[in-house]
Amino acid sequence: MSAIDPPQKKKHGCFFYGCLTLIVMAFLVGVLGFLGVRYVAGVINTQLDLYAETQPMEFPKVEMPANELQQLKRRVDAFGAAMDTHSNTPPLVLTSRDLNELIASRTNGAELKDICYVDIQGDVVKGELSLPLGKYFRFPFARFKGRYLNGVGTFRVGVTNNELLVYVQSIEVKGKPLPANFMAQLQGKNWAEDFNKNPTNAATLGRFESIDVNDGKVTVKAKGQ
């Protein structure tokens, strides 16, 4: 089987896509672990019949006028450029609409656009996910092709002490929450542990004072603010 690898490109902005990819991975590993991917194909197919669907989830449409989108991109680019030159810059504040537009308008972010939709609710990140299993997984005699793992997950995300934190709060598949005893195992893990160990990622994280999710917005502060 194969899985999605967190992007490790150096351009500013890629960090945000790395965070979103980690959220997708946490959801994916949690659900597939519950479905029993370590067992024989017959068991996998039985679980797929229960939890997978034959049609992808429809995400809300996000439409932003071209001039507004350009302003958003300039705002993100200006924040990144200020960090590159170690210039003092105000915090970068992004809404759910901003994040989804950035994903949708980004050429190399098309994969995320097709499988997830982000909704910031209060101090948690809610992700609607629709993963085409046949695209990412191969297992002899398992019927992944034409099946979609549709669900919703909520996550707490932030950066403190130069470390990215991604914690699962809840996961639902086809409107059904995963069992509490299984969720307890997922909730105790920081899904960004391996991400933090990468030297390139660690250097990027060291430039942030904090990334906070609150009041339905993501607030990014560069060090020195």
- DSSP for 165-220, please give it: EEEEEEEEETTEEPPHHHHHHHHT--TTHHHHHSHHHHHHHTTEEEEEEETTEEEE
- pLDDT means per 10 residues, the chain with 225 residues, are 39 55 62 54 69 86 89 90 81 92 69 81 89 74 80 87 86 82 80 85 83 90 74
Specify the pLDDT at position 140: 67
Locate the DSSP E strands across 70-178.
92-95, 116-121, 124-132, 148-160, 163-173, 176-177
**Type of residue at 179:** P
Contact 151, 129 (CB under 8 A): yes
As a whole number of angstroms, the distance between CA 206 and CA 159 comes to: 10
Specify the pLDDT at position 7: 38
Specify the pLDDT at position 97: 93
Q: Residues near 200 by Cβ (< 8 Å), separated by ≥ 6?
A: 8, 10
Specify the pLDDT at position 14: 54
Specify the pLDDT at position 17: 56
Contact 97, 62 (CB under 8 A): yes
Pairing of strands 148-160, 124-132: antiparallel
Residue 37 CB neighbour total at 10 angstroms: 16
Specify the pLDDT at position 32: 58
Contact 149, 163 (CB under 8 A): no
Cα dihedral 33/39/45/51 (nearest 10):
-20
Q: Which residue is associated with the tokens 């656009």?
A: 113
Specify the pLDDT at position 175: 82
Contact 86, 109 (CB under 8 A): no
Q: Which residues pair with 127 in a beta bridge?
A: 118, 153
